[in-house]
Copies of this chain bind each other. A is one copy, B any other.
């Protein structure tokens, strides 16, 4: 009897990729929403080093770090909806770009919402430079993972979800159809995947959240 729990917050881009993987693989799970201002003793016990969500707890054993969890899910429930390719080179490519996304694209993207003045301008430039790499990656394939969606699409799914909220909050047309035609098409296709669509968060609530953060930073 499998017992799967996910420690989460509703808006974390790192959590969403795990939710999608669990849904895509039809894994039943219990979701526990954390208040990050008042973390539960369970979260602190399961992830004592980083004290962060997501944590996947499978039969009482915790697994932390979202890309590590994603590979764990793919290797443990390997028959339904495989996420990573079998070829070592294809796999290395997806891992490389997922790391690039988490280390460079995601911080500059959210930095653009959160920062002020010159720092914000730098975050904007960095975001656009990084997104051009992803645009290029999509020039010969429909999804980031290839002809069908996979690991790398889930790893970049936060971008599809957060592009419009960022655009509304900052007033910048980020995924402009002239500059990023491939990313625009990818975004639409990604959001049409049923498991993604059904867990699509309310865009207005995300916008409100970012507006509040932005205002609190501006004070």
Majority SS at the chain A contact face: helix
- Residues from chain B with a CB closer than 8 A to the CB of A64 are 96
Q: Which of A38-58 contact B (CB under 8 A)?
A: 49, 58
Quick check: A49 and B89 within 8 Å, CB to CB?
no
Cα(A64)–Cα(B64), bound, Å: 24
Stretch at the interface among A29-37, A71-79, A144-152: A71-79
Flag whether A208 is at the interface (Cβ < 8 A): no
- Is A214 positioned at the interface, with any CB of B under 8 Å from its CB? no
Selected from B49, B61, B75, B92, the residue in CB contact (under 8 A) with A91 is B75
| Partner pick for A92 among B49, B72, B88, B89, CB 8 A cutoff | B72
Question: What's the least CB distance linking A99 to chain B, in Å?
Answer: 6
State which of B63, B95, B99, B133 has its C-beta within 8 Å of the C-beta of A89: B63
Cα distance, A188 to B95, chains bound together (Å): 32
- B100:A88 contact, CB within 8 angstroms: no
Contact A69 B49 (CB under 8 A): no
Inter-chain contact A96/B76, CB cutoff 8 Å = no
CA distance A71 to B88 in the complex (A): 8
> In whole angstroms, what is the CA distance A198 to B100 when docked?
33
- Contact among B61, B75, B92 for A68, CB-based, below 8 A: B92
Cβ-based interface call for A65 (8 A): yes
Q: What are 9 A-B contacts with C-beta separation under 8 Å?
A: A61-B89, A63-B89, A65-B96, A65-B99, A68-B95, A68-B99, A69-B92, A72-B88, A75-B88
Given contacts A65-B99, A72-B92, A75-B88, 18 further A-B contacts (CB under 8 A): A49-B100, A58-B89, A61-B89, A63-B96, A64-B96, A65-B95, A65-B96, A68-B95, A68-B96, A68-B99, A69-B92, A71-B88, A71-B95, A72-B88, A72-B89, A72-B91, A76-B88, A76-B89
* A-B pairs, 4 with minimum CB distance: A75-B88, A72-B92, A76-B88, A68-B95
